[in-house]
């Protein structure tokens, strides 16, 4: 370039030295411009850096998850002022660090571009909304509320279940200004059948605490306690304690038993030792058949004396029930089950619940379950129903369907003057038309909706006020067993939203404190601090107490002592119906998926793309139907059927689901939303419309449906098509009896493909420092999928959408493979990069983009990868993921704020895979180096291990003989997947052991 | 030093042991006629037929280019590949085109060393086919990568300041060297062999620019004894160098599969099996091209039925080898007792891709058996149709190998069907367009037949009384 200028411009004139230098300088500068390829991005450092923030170092805040009423404790990882990862709080006394997939995914909801950003004024007639300002809205509403209060008008607040005592107190204060004011709480997946049953049988309307950890035998009648039922994370981490085995003590080991009778294949049923498919509505028959065995056959000393009970139970002869349901194993099942439960009385548990069993008999079912628990003396041991014990308040699940139905009729009758709806979406979650909700709301003169989205219910309101996301808000939560947790914001609000509590404080005329934070603090000072002061140390000031509580996240109010069994109220027996045989038609169950729950997260793309643990489907719901039924009707997978129940009908594709009763079908709720946002709207069909309201009660399942072929097909976006291991050395599963004799027994694999010692020509590579490895316990993995979402959040894994998932291009680095084993049942296997020592992928990459590091990790060098995909072909585990498109672009603003700055965001054309969270390994090693200490076992937890509620995944240093992972890998149950290929994977799996024996322990 | 053998070849018919010579040069041709027949088409404006085919080739190429552009700008996702099938139609095309190229080198180099003089009528066109086939093949390893703009540099061991080397253990790297070498050597061999003929064209050239271009291309050839001696020596050397490439290049390409651990790929039979298959499909492509070329360019006297029959015999032989390899694979899969291998082969024949497998078996094993009959071997329509079937069958063989092995390998949870999209097919069409553009340009600008070599080997059949030209002129005068 220089010569061009020199030759071109100056070739004829004499070039003076000075001119030459000028030209040289100019041309060098201009060369710089011509060579600039990429635009320059500027990073702006803090001008005045907040003291506690060091760029690059995360800060952690304890809080409480608000994605469902379980309210698990969480820790929020904050980088440069924004939350990027949610993890379970290990110091929380109940959830103990467990967090489900929805909790993990909640951080994405914070940055959802479809969130409401400012208040809206809605015109109900024109169905339009426009932006308004807070002062404006407050003025208008306060004026109207003042009018209503003065007239003695009726104001109702309808909300989801509120577990926060401070919020409840504030609501009470707000409602005090009105006569005939009421607060109705409603959860679509609420437990009012349980609380009502508890009231009838024991006199207090609670959701009891269940000690899954002490139960040796659990009989679940449809309750998905490992998946979506109640505090599933707490239950899972408790239940799994009875499933972990130490092979050095195999002969004297104990393994709990889980027996499930359910109308849908749920995560819980998949983990059962024994499982029976039934129709919705059969649960009570099973319960009472077992009760027949226990009370009548075994002549129970107390319960057989009650004539009414005996006369009801006499009709439930086990042979009749077994025949009606078509139980595999016949009548013998009930006698064996009864014997087993009786042998474990006081240490067993019978539970039922969830919308799949919520038929018109759901209250009777709960009475039957309570009866069984009392008969078995589980009440007061495994079932703890204390409500008030020494001034400690216990969690009462306050969702009440009856109150909601009454509210609707009041509204319809014009008896409500103002309705405030907070975090509730009955316009979607109630069956349209049948419930009359929409019509009822239209009769209310003033309707205010407070929510994060302009959802289906908000579209019925006059004012839509944006609520904070829980990560932006203060709060508290009252847990069972005397635990109180706190919620604190980890970020200043992104948009112009306002906490509901702040809104109420603004509207309460004469409010002394109109700041929710201060109100909360004041409430704690008044009601909690006083009782705890005595226990505090030297500095027992409230400020110190408050700060410590916030830091820990949760507080145990005091010692509980042993629970006392409550007396069974025999009057409740009149709830139990006499046996009547029902054999007609196809019965429908509605159920909730671990990813979608009740549909509130439909706009969360991570959850939409999380494959259902059982069906492996994403993005849609479908009609589950048994293979036998499908064959009889001549159906194949993906056929679109019209399902009709009365006047309600919908068209959706079928999924042939093994383990379903031939006369039962099921559909998941949470789909078919009409106003969820760009991601969730119109994914799947609305199953809530199949609910009925009978006798003032909501009936979710058990309706008779008719099916009609439409002739069309709809391809479900499933991530796994083949469901058998084909006898390959992938899953090792043995029965408990076999385990006790020989923990290293490995059946279910082709004996030709098992090599005890694999010959090798080369010396093994020596790892002088750390050698990272992992152990995954198949007995502990329940298939919940929290690991997949945790990994997605940690490693900036993109979402690809339904069409791409159809072509198997989803990007999850860890996936849960699910196999149906003919003899035993369902097995889940987390599959991620095995970090093989003889990695087949490393030899074949032509540009050396995948190499082995000196600590045993197979490293993928993103910027070197040219995308030949040879490594993917050569990987026998198929854990490598190729970026077929620039999926990262779908993270438009502000969603890109969720990215973890420690992990590269990959463009298209690049291969990626699990790295054992090498950024966390790095972080821990650097911290150790800075403090002059060594990395300890447990310091490094990859995202998957961190998210796992049951501790199925254990990572650590194989070179440290005392590490947890070394102990697990040397357990007799440990094996490697496809070991005979000699790839030498660094991940060992522990053989799944199912307890098939009937002996009660 | 000219190699002298008889210009006749021997054929044994099924009726008698009597030996009948098959003429390798028919008609009354003089040396001058040979020049005219080959060089005349280069000197006149191409016919409407050439333009028709050329515009079709351009259209095909443009379609491929447009689709490829979309692929480069949005991502590999427009194709059908997925997890687990990371290699699809593009790699099938790569192996297909590289395989085709081997026939040309076999004709040019191996038949030369075996002193098969009949090769001289076909070797120029066959070698040109090789060059263009390899050029077409080389497109695919580049565009099938996720980031081809880096792949073209980073797959070559270019010196750099960061001390980064390529991975010499990877078969894809071996491909770079093997196919790169193959292209280079073939190009040099082809070009050097063409020098005397280009000189002939130069000598006939009337137009100044034409003469200039052909002069440059002929490197100053003056037909002296010294020139010819150097030419012969170089030709022999290059033939010697090219010969092992026929066997090695496709063996290396087969290592892309054989060196991996995928059941159905990981087998030692691949190198000879692929080489046999390459020659099989290559000869079929040569037959397809020559049947048309000899018709269009009026070279029937030179590229005789005899030549085509010989090529059909090679097709037969290699087809039988390929059929044997299929049987061998099945036998070894069973004999090995390895349940992954057994499953893979049963899956090939009876799994979701059974249609591809049976297409392959029918086209490659069954249909060429027709060539046992001489009538079929010497019938133009029959051999043309069969050569097309063979190429379809060979394309499907690579498809079966690549796709069926990948779509169901070790872990059943990752099994998935692969369906190529319109982009896969469109870019494949584009590759055919690219190939035919080059081949048609070759036909237009360079001598299709090795004039000098034909004159040399067919000397005894050449008419020394002026040949056809004189006969025509005489008839014209009379």
Query: Given an 8 Å threshold on Cβ–Cβ distance, is B411 in contact with A846?
Result: no
Question: Tokens standing for A968?
Answer: 């697990």
pLDDT of residue A18: 62
Tell me the three-class secondary structure of A357-410, residue by residue.
HCCCCHHHHHHHHHHHHHHCCCECCCEECCCEECCEECCCCCCCHHHHHHHHHH
Chain B CB within 8 Å of residue A131 CB: no
Q: How far apart are CA A443 and CA A440, in angstroms?
A: 5
Query: Given an 8 Å threshold on Cβ–Cβ distance, is A881 in contact with B83?
Result: yes
Query: Given an 8 Å threshold on Cβ–Cβ distance, is B409 in contact with A845?
Result: no
Dihedrals phi, psi of B99, to nearest 5 degrees: -60, -45
- Which of A813, A847, A913, A982 to mutate to probe the B interface, most B CBs <10 Å? A847
Residue A9 confidence class, pLDDT cut points 50, 70, 90: very low
Which candidate from A845, A865, A883 shows the least CB-CB separation from B167? Answer: A845
Query: Given an 8 Å threshold on Cβ–Cβ distance, is A724 in contact with B176?
Result: no
Say yes or no to pLDDT of A15 above 50.
Answer: no
- With contacts defined as CB-CB under 8 Å, which chain A residues touch B337? 752
Specify the pTM: 0.91
Query: Given an 8 Å threshold on Cβ–Cβ distance, is A878 in contact with B411?
Result: yes
- With contacts defined as CB-CB under 8 Å, which chain B residues touch A877? 410-411, 414
Which candidate from B146, B176, B415 shows the least CB-CB separation from A882? Answer: B146
Question: Tokens standing for A126?
Answer: 């024109």
Q: Please tell me the least confidently modeled range out of A275-284, A907-916, B64-73, B292-301.
A: B292-301
Query: Given an 8 Å threshold on Cβ–Cβ distance, is B86 in contact with A728?
Result: no
Burial of A802 (0-12, 13-18, 19+ CB in 10 A): middle
- Which pLDDT tens digit goes with each residue over A900-922? 999 999 999 999 999 999 999 99
Question: Tokens standing for A83?
Answer: 């939350």
Q: Please tell me the least confidently modeled range out of A583-587, B352-356, B384-388.
A: A583-587
Q: Which is it for the CA torsion A667, A670, A674, A677, positive or negative?
A: negative
pLDDT of residue A25: 58
CATH class held by domain B30-457 = mainly alpha
Q: B89-105 and B422-445 are packed helices; what angle lies between their axes, rounded to 10 degrees? A: 20
Which ipTM score applies to this complex? 0.91
Chain A CB within 8 Å of residue B351 CB: no
- Which pLDDT tens digit goes with each residue over A775-789? 999 999 999 999 999
CB interface of A with B, residues 738-777, below 8 Å: 750, 752-753
Task: Tell the residue number behind the tokens 């499907």, with chain if given.
Answer: B396
Name A994's bridge partners. A735
Which candidate from A843, A882, A981 shows the least CB-CB separation from B170? Answer: A843
Q: How far apart are CA B151 and CA B32, in angstroms?
A: 50
Chain B CB within 8 Å of residue A605 CB: no
Chain A CB within 8 Å of residue B144 CB: yes
Burial of A18 (0-12, 13-18, 19+ CB in 10 A): exposed
Would you say how long chain B is, in residues? 478
Query: Given an 8 Å threshold on Cβ–Cβ distance, is B415 in contact with A873?
Result: no
Q: Provide the pairing of β-strand A73-79 with A418-422.
A: unpaired
**Residue environment code for A247-280, b if the CB has 16+ CB neighbours within 10 A, otherwise e:** beebeebebbbbbbbbbbbbbbbbbbbbbbbbbb
- Residue A499 near residue A422 (C-beta atoms within 8 A): no
Chain B CB within 8 Å of residue A827 CB: no
Cα–Cα separations (whole angstroms), residue B324 to A257, A556, B102, B321 = 57, 77, 20, 5
Query: Given an 8 Å threshold on Cβ–Cβ distance, is A909 in contact with B84?
Result: no
Neighbours of A867 (CB within 10 A): 26
Query: Given an 8 Å threshold on Cβ–Cβ distance, is B170 in contact with A752?
Result: no
Task: Tell the residue number behind the tokens 């994405």, with chain if given.
Answer: A108
- With contacts defined as CB-CB under 8 Å, which chain A residues touch B339? 727-728, 750, 752-753
pLDDT of residue A2: 42
Least Cα distance to A575 among A288, A220, A342, A337 occurs for A288
- Which pLDDT tens digit goes with each residue over A440-484? 999 999 999 999 999 999 999 999 999 999 999 999 998 766 889
CB interface of A with B, residues 981-1000, below 8 Å: 981
Chain A CB within 8 Å of residue B50 CB: no
Q: Provide the pairing of β-strand A825-831 with A815-821.
A: antiparallel
Query: Taking residues B255-269, what's their average pLDDT?
Result: 95
- Which pLDDT tens digit goes with each residue over B200-238? 999 998 889 999 999 999 999 999 999 999 999 999 999
Dihedrals phi, psi of A576, to nearest 5 degrees: -80, 125
Dihedrals phi, psi of A537, to nearest 5 degrees: -80, -145
Q: How far apart are CA B475 and CA B466, in angstroms?
A: 13
Name A486's bridge partners. A476
Say yes or no to pLDDT of A143 above 70.
Answer: yes
What DSSP assignment string belongs to A922-946?
Answer: HHHHHHHHHHT-PPPTTS---HHHH
Chain A CB within 8 Å of residue B260 CB: yes
Chain B CB within 8 Å of residue A720 CB: yes
- Which pLDDT tens digit goes with each residue over A748-772? 456 666 666 777 888 888 999 999 9
Task: Tell the residue number behind the tokens 């049988």, with chain if given.
Answer: A201
Query: Given an 8 Å threshold on Cβ–Cβ distance, is A722 in contact with B413?
Result: yes
Query: Taking residues B26-52, what's their average pLDDT?
Result: 84
Q: How far apart are CA B248 and CA B283, in angstroms?
A: 18
Q: How far apart are CA A320 and CA A323, in angstroms?
A: 5
pLDDT of residue A796: 96
Query: Given an 8 Å threshold on Cβ–Cβ distance, is B166 in contact with A847?
Result: yes
Chain A CB within 8 Å of residue B115 CB: no
- Which pLDDT tens digit goes with each residue over A829-867? 999 999 999 999 999 999 999 999 999 999 999 999 999
Long-range contacts of A412-416 (CB under 8 A, 24+ apart): A412/A436, A412/A439, A412/A440, A412/A443, A414/A443, A415/A154, A416/A154, A416/A155, A416/A156, A416/A443, A416/A444
Chain-centre distance of CA B314, in angstroms? 14
Q: How far apart are CA A883 and CA B77, in angstroms?
A: 8
Say yes or no to pLDDT of B459 above 90.
Answer: no
- With contacts defined as CB-CB under 8 Å, which chain B residues touch A844? 169-172, 259-260
Would you say how long chain A is, in residues? 1001
User: What secondary structure letter does DSSP report for A329?
Assistant: T
Neighbours of A332 (CB within 10 A): 12
Cβ neighbours for A7, distance < 8 A, ≥ 6 positions apart? none
What H or E segment, with its residue span, contains residue A643? strand A639-645
Q: B31-43 and B467-477 are packed helices; what angle lies between their axes, rounded to 10 degrees? A: 80
Residue B72 confidence class, pLDDT cut points 50, 70, 90: very high
Q: Provide the pairing of β-strand A772-777 with A987-990.
A: parallel
Collapsing DSSP to helix, strand or coil, A86 comes out as strand
What DSSP assignment string belongs to B276-290?
Answer: HHHHHHHHHHHHHHH
Residue of A nearest to B262 (CA): A874
Provide the residue ranges of all domains of chain B, joining segments of one domain with +. Answer: 30-457
pLDDT of residue A300: 87
What DSSP assignment string belongs to B118-172?
Answer: GGGGTHHHHHHHHHHHHHHHHHHHHHTSS-HHHHHHHTS----TT-----TT-HH
Q: How far apart are CA B103 and CA B110, in angstroms?
A: 10
- With contacts defined as CB-CB under 8 Å, which chain A residues touch B166? 846-848
- Residue A337 near residue A219 (C-beta atoms within 8 A): yes
Phi-psi region of A677 (alpha: psi -120 to 50; beta: other; left: phi over 0): left
Q: How far apart are CA A973 and CA A606, in angstroms?
A: 34
Q: Please tell me the least confidently modeled range out of A64-73, A345-354, A816-825, B278-287.
A: A816-825
Query: Given an 8 Å threshold on Cβ–Cβ distance, is A819 in contact with B413?
Result: yes
């Amino acid at each position: 370039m220089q010569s061009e200028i020199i030759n071109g411009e100056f070739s004829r004139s004499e070039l003076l030295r000075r001119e030459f230098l000028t030209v040289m300088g100019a041309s060098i500068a201009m060369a710089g411009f011509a060579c600039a390829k990429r635009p320059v991005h500027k990073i702006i450092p803090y001008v005045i850096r907040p003291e506690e923030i060091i760029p690059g170092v995360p800060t952690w805040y304890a809080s409480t998850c608000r994605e469902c009423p379980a309210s698990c404790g969480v820790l929020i990882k904050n980088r440069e002022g924004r939350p990027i990862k949610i993890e379970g709080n290990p110091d929380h006394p109940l959830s103990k660090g467990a967090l489900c997939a929805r909790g993990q995914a909640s951080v994405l909801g914070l940055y959802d571009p479809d969130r409401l950003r400012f208040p809206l004024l809605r015109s109900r007639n024109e169905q339009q909304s426009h932006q308004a300002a807070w002062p404006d809205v407050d003025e208008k509403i306060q004026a109207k509320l003042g009018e209503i209060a003065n007239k003695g008008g009726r104001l109702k607040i309808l909300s989801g279940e509120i577990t926060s005592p401070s919020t409840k107190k504030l609501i009470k204060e707000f409602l005090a200004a009105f006569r005939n004011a009421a607060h109705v709480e409603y959860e679509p997946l609420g437990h009012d059948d349980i609380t009502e049953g508890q009231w009838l049988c024991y006199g207090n309307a609670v959701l009891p605490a269940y000690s899954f950890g002490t139960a040796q035998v659990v009989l679940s009648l449809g309750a998905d306690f490992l998946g979506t039922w109640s505090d599933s994370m707490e239950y899972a981490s408790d239940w799994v304690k009875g499933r972990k085995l130490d092979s050095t003590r195999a002969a004297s080991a104990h393994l709990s038993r889980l027996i499930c009778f359910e109308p849908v294949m749920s995560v819980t049923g998949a983990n059962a030792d024994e499982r029976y498919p039934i129709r919705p509505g059969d649960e009570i028959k099973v319960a009472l058949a077992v009760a027949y065995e226990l009370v009548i056959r075994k002549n129970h000393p107390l319960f057989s004396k009650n004539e009414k009970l005996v006369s009801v139970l006499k009709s439930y002869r086990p042979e009749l029930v077994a025949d009606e349901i078509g139980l595999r194993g016949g009548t013998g099942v009930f006698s064996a089950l009864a014997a087993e439960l009786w042998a474990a009385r006081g240490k067993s548990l019978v539970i039922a619940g969830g919308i799949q069993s919520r038929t018109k008999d759901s209250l009777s079912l709960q009475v039957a379950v309570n009866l069984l628990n009392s008969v078995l003396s589980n009440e007061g041991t495994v079932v703890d129903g204390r409500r008030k014990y020494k001034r400690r308040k216990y969690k009462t699940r306050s969702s009440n369907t009856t109150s909601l139905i009454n509210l609707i009729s009041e509204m319809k009758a014009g008896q409500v003057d103002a309705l405030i709806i907070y975090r509730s979406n009955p316009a979607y979650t109630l069956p349209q038309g049948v419930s009359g909700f929409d019509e009822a709301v239209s009769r209310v003169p003033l309707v205010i909706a407070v929510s994060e989205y302009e959802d289906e219910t908000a579209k019925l309101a006059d004012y839509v006020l944006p609520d904070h996301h829980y990560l932006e808000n203060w709060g508290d939560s009252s847990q069972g067993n005397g635990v109180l947790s706190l919620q604190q914001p980890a970020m200043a609000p992104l948009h112009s939203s306002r906490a509901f509590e702040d809104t109420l404080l603004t509207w309460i005329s004469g409010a002394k404190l109109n700041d929710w934070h201060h109100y909360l603090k004041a409430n704690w000072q008044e009601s909690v601090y006083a009782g705890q002061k005595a226990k505090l140390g030297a500095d027992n000031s409230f400020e110190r107490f408050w700060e410590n509580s916030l830091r820990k996240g949760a507080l145990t109010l005091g010692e509980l002592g042993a629970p006392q069994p409550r007396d069974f109220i025999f009057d409740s027996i009149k709830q139990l119906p006499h046996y009547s045989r029902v054999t007609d038609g196809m019965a429908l169950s509605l159920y909730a998926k671990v990813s979608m729950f009740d549909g509130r997260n439909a706009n969360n793309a991570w959850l939409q793309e999380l494959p259902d643990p059982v069906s492996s489907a994403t993005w849609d719901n479908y009609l589950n139907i048994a293979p036998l039924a499908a064959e009889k009707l001549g159906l194949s997978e993906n056929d679109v059927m019209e399902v009709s129940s009365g006047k309600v009908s919908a068209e959706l594709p079928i999924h042939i689901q093994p383990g379903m009763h031939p006369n039962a079908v099921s559909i998941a709720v949470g789909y078919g939303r009409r106003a969820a946002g760009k991601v969730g709207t119109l994914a799947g069909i609305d199953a809530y419309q199949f609910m009925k309201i009978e006798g003032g009660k909501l009936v979710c399942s058990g309706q008779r449906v008719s099916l009609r072929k439409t002739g069309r097909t709809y391809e479900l976006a499933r991530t796994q098509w083949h469901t058998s291991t084909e006898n390959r050395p992938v899953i090792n599963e043995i029965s408990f009896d076999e385990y006790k004799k020989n923990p290293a027994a490995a059946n279910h694999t082709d004996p030709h493909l098992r090599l005890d010692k694999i010959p090798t020509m080369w010396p093994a590579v020596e790892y002088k420092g750390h050698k990272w490895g992992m152990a995954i316990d198949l007995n502990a993995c329940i298939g919940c999928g929290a690991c997949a979402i945790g990994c997605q959040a940690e490693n900036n894994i993109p979402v690809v959408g339904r069409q791409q998932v159809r072509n198997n291009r989803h990007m999850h680095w860890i996936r849960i493979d699910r196999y149906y084993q003919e003899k035993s049942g369902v097995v889940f296997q987390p599959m991620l990069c095995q970090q093989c020592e003889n990695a087949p992928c490393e030899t074949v990459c032509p540009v050396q983009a995948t190499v082995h590091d000196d600590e045993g990790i197979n490293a993928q060098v993103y910027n070197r990868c040219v995308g030949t995909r040879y490594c993917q072909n050569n990987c026998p585990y198929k854990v490598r993921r190729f970026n077929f498109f620039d999926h990262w672009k779908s993270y438009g603003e502000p969603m890109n704020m969720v990215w973890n700055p420690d992990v590269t965001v990959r463009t298209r054309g690049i291969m990626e895979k699990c790295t054992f969270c090498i950024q966390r390994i790095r972080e821990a090693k650097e911290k150790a180096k800075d403090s002059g200490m060594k990395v300890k076992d447990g310091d490094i937890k990859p995202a998957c291990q961190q998210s796992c509620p049951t501790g199925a995944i254990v990572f650590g240093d194989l070179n440290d003989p005392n590490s947890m992972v070394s102990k697990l890998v040397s357990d007799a149950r440990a094996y490697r997947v496809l070991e005979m290929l000699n790839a030498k994977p660094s991940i060992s799996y522990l053989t799944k052991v199912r307890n098939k024996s009937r002996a009660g322990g | 030093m000219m190699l002298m053998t008889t210009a006749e070849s021997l054929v044994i018919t099924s009726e008698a042991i009597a030996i009948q010579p098959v003429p390798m040069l028919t008609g009354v041709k003089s040396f001058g006629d040979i020049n005219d027949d080959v060089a005349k088409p280069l000197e006149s404006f191409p016919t409407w037929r050439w333009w028709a085919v050329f515009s079709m080739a351009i259209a095909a190429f443009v379609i491929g280019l447009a689709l490829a552009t979309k692929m480069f700008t949005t991502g590999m996702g427009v194709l059908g590949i997925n997890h687990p099938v990371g290699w699809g139609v593009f790699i099938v095309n790569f192996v297909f085109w590289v395989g085709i190229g081997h026939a040309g080198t076999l004709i040019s180099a191996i038949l030369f060393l075996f002193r098969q003089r009949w090769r001289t009528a076909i070797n120029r066109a066959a070698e040109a086919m090789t060059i263009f086939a390899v050029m077409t093949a080389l497109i695919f390893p580049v565009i099938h990568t996720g980031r081809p703009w880096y792949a073209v540099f980073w797959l070559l061991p270019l010196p750099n300041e960061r001390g980064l080397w390529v991975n010499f253990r990877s078969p894809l790297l071996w491909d770079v060297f093997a196919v790169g070498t193959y292209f280079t050597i073939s190009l040099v061999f082809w070009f050097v062999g063409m020098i005397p003929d280009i000189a002939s064209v130069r000598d006939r050239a009337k137009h100044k620019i034409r003469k200039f271009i052909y002069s440059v291309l002929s490197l100053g050839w003056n037909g002296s004894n010294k020139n010819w001696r150097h030419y012969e020596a170089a030709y022999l050397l290059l033939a010697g160098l090219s010969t092992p490439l026929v066997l090695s290049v496709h063996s290396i390409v087969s290592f892309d599969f054989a060196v991996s651990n995928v059941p159905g790929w990981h087998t030692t039979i691949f190198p000879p099996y692929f080489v046999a298959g390459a020659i099989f499909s290559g000869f079929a492509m040569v037959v397809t091209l020559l049947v048309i070329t000899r018709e269009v360019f009026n070279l029937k006297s030179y590229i005789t039925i005899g030549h085509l029959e010989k090529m059909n015999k090679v097709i037969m032989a290699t087809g039988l080898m390929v059929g044997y390899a299929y049987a061998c694979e099945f036998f070894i899969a069973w004999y090995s007792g390895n349940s992954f291998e057994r499953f893979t082969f049963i899956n090939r024949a009876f799994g979701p891709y059974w249609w591809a497998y049976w297409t392959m078996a029918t086209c490659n094993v069954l249909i060429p058996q027709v060539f046992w009959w001489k009538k079929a071997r010497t019938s133009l329509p029959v051999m043309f149709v069969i050569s097309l079937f063979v190429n379809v069958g060979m394309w499907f063989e690579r498809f079966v190998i690549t796709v069926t092995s990948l779509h169901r390998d070790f872990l059943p949870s990752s099994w998935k069907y692969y369906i190529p999209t319109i982009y896969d097919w469109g870019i494949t069409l584009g590759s055919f367009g690219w190939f035919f553009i080059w081949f048609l340009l070759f036909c237009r600008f360079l001598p299709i037949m090795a004039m000098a070599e034909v004159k040399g080997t067919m000397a005894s059949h050449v008419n020394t009384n002026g040949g056809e030209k004189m006969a025509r002129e005489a008839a014209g005068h009379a």
